[in-house]
Every structure is written in structure tokens, then in C-alpha cells.
Amino acid sequence: MSTTLSRVQAAYARIDAVDRPELWIGLRPRAQAEAEAMALDARVAAGERLPLAGRLLAVKGNIDVAGLPTTAGCPAYAYDPPADAEVVARLRRAGALVLGTTNLDQFATGLVGTRSPYGAVRNALDPTRVSGGSSSGSAVAVALGIVDLALGTDTAGSGRVPAAFNGVVGLKPTRGLVPTTGVVPACASLDCVTVFARTLPEAEQAMTFMTPPRDLPQRTPGPWRVAVAAPDQLGELDAGWAQAYEAAVTRVAEAGADVRVVDLAPFTEAAAMLYEGAFVAERYTAVGSFVDKAMATGAEGLDPTVAGIITRARDIPAHQLFADHNRLAALRARALSELADADALLLPTTPGHPTLAEVAADPLGANARLGRFTNSTNLFDLSAVAVPAGEVSGLPFGVTLIGPPFTDDRLARIAGLLQPEARLAVVGAHLSGQPLNPQLLALGARLERTTTTAPEYRLHALRTTPTKPGLVHVGENGSAIEAEVWHLPAEGLGRLLTTLPRPMTLGRVQLADGTSVPGFLCEPAALTDAEDITAYGGWRSYLRRPHPQNSPHTTDK
């Protein structure tokens, strides 16, 4: 079965299994997605280079996808786009396959994920809690393992808050780096298209296709310089969150970063201005006339909280906007002075994680609290990456690295200090260039080195279709077998193990240098009638052997 087709079929089975209909506004018919998958597999088989082939993509419902209505979370607003948004087109050209469009806080106005006539999007791990918004459906679709990648938008934190609440990665690039052509605006001067993924390398890979080639800002060699907040400036946090933040700061410091405390006041003061000041007027510019007409005609599907925010923005006087611009410029100067030569500011992504009931009881207050650490980022024209940083009471805790514009790649490198990694030894179908190697790459794995095992193993060609290798530890009667050692996120290794079929098992593999790492081994019972291929020294050498006529393995590739 072809790689992309099998992944599409697994995704639709997963959609049925998780039973979260509120995730989707427009889900493509299964037959249509399968037909595209087969076409992609045929193109790859013909030698076409499609780096994202096999990756499944969900797209926030305010971003155009040809063939699906763009609703921005409001049925009465829906239109049929003539073409994909530019960012969707770029990912599709690289081989990604779109499954559908996802639910959102209506008109991308909110950080909670509940402001939608299509239903409140529940958290991926605890359905009594909010998923975070406004890119709620996109983040949850990734967290639940339905898709590999998802597009969102971020004006006030919509590409970071849902990432934190659902334990995934959210990259919010520098403003203007990713085109917003074909995106329904929230605040056009602040909007960014963001990407969600389960691992940082996956998100980074997608971002390379979303952005044009560019010259990156350079810095002098030395340890990363990371600014952090004093505990008394974080404000009220949920129980356990202050300790989780301190643990993240400690991990960064132990990884070699130079950590120092800065004054957070200019960041939090600017954050309050996004909705309390005149900048919200730009939301009225985007969709205000539609909302006014819809309210006048009694159109169904308007979220009352969103409609109230947008209509109130209509009457903000122009002089307040100019005054707020002046105040913002002063706050930005203070903020950049505080950061000085820091490479990044490390903050909790949010102060806490509310329940659906808490948001329903105080929709404006709960939402405002969630933007304390995120609202100022786009106002200050900064870049950011949100990553998981542990758990509190069994739920994800996330942090965000914020930095100067066009330091997106640098932020990702610093964020990597927070991501636990595992090592894995492979000797067969997961080797570079072999059929299952894309599984490792999709999990964000990177090759450390090619080596051999200690001379204590034997390798067998199992009687499976297709033929697979089986590595067993035998001790003194063994030989050295070619192996590769890969680094991958620890949670990625866990996901890989859930798909590991018998007779394969995970055990410790002793390497030639005396170290041992986790690796794939084979249950001895599976070796009955299996060909001992140890003499070839490795799986790739075995596959390159001359094939005698009528050999039972002449179809090996």
C-alpha cells in the first residue's frame, strides 16, 4: 500500500475514532483525498521530488482552500475561493495533502476556541477545558494525530495559545515573512500565518516551504542569551505553573544559556492595549460592514461575543488611535531596551488553562487573561515559537520564545534546548534511503552517525512480505552489523513504538564503541526458516547482493 494513501486512510479512521466533529468546518470527501494521495504516490514513484509527500495538512477556516468554502467561522460569510491561499499552494507544491478546513474563534477573534457556531472545540487531552483559539481546530487536529501539520493565524496569540494547551509546537513567524494572500484578515497589519506540528523539526521543515529564501541575522559565537521574567511580574498563574516555568528556565540554563531577568512591564502594558485600546478598530475595518449588515438582517451564526467586540470598535475616535500609536512606540522602545542583546525572551505561553465552564461564565475576562504574554508580540513586530515544556496536573504546560524580527530560526534553536531527545539504533528498513526512513524524518529525527553494532549480533531475513530484517543478540557467536544512530524527540520515539508490529521489539543495542542505545530487535521465535544474512555485514549490503535466478528474494528492493 502506498505511503500517502495509507496515511490518508489512517487519518479518516482516526477521525471516526476520536469523534470530534467540532474540529472541522469543511472535511474533504474521503474518495477525493484518496484519489489525490494515489496521484501523489505515483508522482513520487516516477522520481518527482516532493519533500512533504505523505504529510497531511489541516487549514484554519479563514485561509482559502480551493474546493472548500472559506467561512472564517461564520456560515453567512462563506464564499468559494477561486484558488488556494498562497501559503497553502506552497505546501501543496511540496507534496502536502489537505484534509480539510478547521474550526476557529469566529473571524479569528479570541484565544479560547469556543466562539463558533460550529461548536466549541474541546481540548485534545481534557474535553472539559478549552482548546485555545482562535486556531483551535488546527491545533487539536495535530494533537490528536489526525494530521501532521496545520495552518493557523496569529494576531494576538492564536498560533501559540492552542499549541500550549494541546502540547504541540506553534511557529509564529515575523510579520510579513509568510504571505497572507487568501487569508480573511482579523487585523491586517498584525496578522501572521502560523504552522502547528507535533515536533519542532516538522514545524521548521514546513516553514521552509512557507517562506522565501532569506539572509538570516548573524550573531557572534557564544552561549544563547535568554531573558526571563521575575516571578513577581508574571501575575497570577494557575497552580503549579510558576514552578513549571522555573523548571523551564532551569533547563535552558543547564543547557548552557546565559539567563538574566528583565523588566516585563512594557510587554504586559502593551498586551493590554490590543483590545482595550484603539488597535481593535482594525477588526472593524476587516469585517465590520458585514457584521453590521448581518445583525441588521438577523443573519444566523454570528457569535454574540465576537459581534460585540467588532461593533464596539466602530466608534473608537481617530485621535485615540494616534495616541495609542505614540504610547506603543514608547513601550516598544522600552521593551527592546530591556532585551538589549538577548537572543530571546522566555515566558509561559499563558497564565493558565481555563475550563469551558469558566470561559462561559466570563468570556471577555477569561480571554483577556490568556493574552497577557502573547498580545504584545505582533504589536512589537517580534517573532515567536511556542513549544511544550512539561506538564502540570497531567495537562500540557507550554512556553514561548520571543525574539527580534527575522530571528525565527534562532528561536527554534533555543527552543530545542527544552525538547527532550532520545537516541535510536536502526539496522533495516529505517536506514537512510530505505522505505521506512520517512517515518523517522516525520518525527523530526536527525542522523547522528553510521556505525556498527558490537560483534554480538546476527541478522536474519524474515519470511515476510516484503522481506524484513531481524536483529538478535547472540553473544560470542555474533558479528558486527551496520547500524545508524538517530536522534529524535522522546515523545516521537514513543509514537513510533505504538506502530511497531510483532515480531519487532525495542531493546538495548550494544554499539562498536561500547555504548548502548535503544534499538529494534527481533523476537527469537520469528527466526524459524529465516535466512541468516549476517555474513553480508548489514541490510543494505544484503539488498545489493547479486540475485541468483529463482532466488526466493529476487523481488527485494
Q: How far apart are CA 358 and CA 366, in angstroms?
A: 7
Beta strands 516-522 and 504-510 are antiparallel
How many CA atoms does the CB half-sphere of 524 hold within 13 Å? 3
Find the angle CA(386)-CA(392)-CA(394) to the nearest 5 degrees: 105
Grid coordinates representing 76 are 453567512
Q: How many CB atoms lie within 10 A of CB 407?
A: 22
Residue identified by cell 488546527 is 138
Backbone φ and ψ of 303, nearest 5°:
-75, 125
Query: Looking at this protein, which amino acid is placed at residue 344?
Result: A
Q: How far apart are CA 516 and CA 363, in angstroms?
A: 53
Residues noted as catalytic: 60, 134, 158
Give kind and range of the element (H or E) at residue 461. Answer: strand 457-462
What's the burial of 52, exposed, middle or buried (CB within 10 Å: 0-12/13-18/19+)?
buried
How many CA atoms does the CB half-sphere of 350 hold within 13 Å? 32
Q: How far apart are CA 168 and CA 24, in angstroms?
A: 18
Q: How far apart are CA 99 and CA 146, in angstroms?
A: 9
Grid coordinates representing 121 are 472545540
With beta carbons less than 8 A apart as the criterion, state whether 227 and 262 touch. yes
Residues 6 or more apart in contact with residue 76 via CB below 8 angstroms: 294, 299, 300, 301, 302
Grid coordinates representing 337 are 531596551
Q: How many CB atoms lie within 10 A of CB 143?
A: 23
Q: How far apart are CA 234 and CA 448, in angstroms?
A: 39
* Three-class DSSP category at 473: strand
- Choose among 140, 228, 176, 151: nearest CA to 408: 176
Residues 6 or more apart in contact with residue 102 via CB below 8 angstroms: 23, 24, 25, 58, 59, 60, 61, 135, 136, 137, 138, 141, 150
Q: How far apart are CA 2 and CA 34, in angstroms?
A: 11
With beta carbons less than 8 A apart as the criterion, state whether 256 and 371 touch. no
Grid coordinates representing 12 are 479518516
Residue identified by cell 544559556 is 257
- Choose among 375, 379, 386: nearest CA to 344: 386
Give start and end residues of each alpha helix (H) in 161-211: 161-166, 200-210
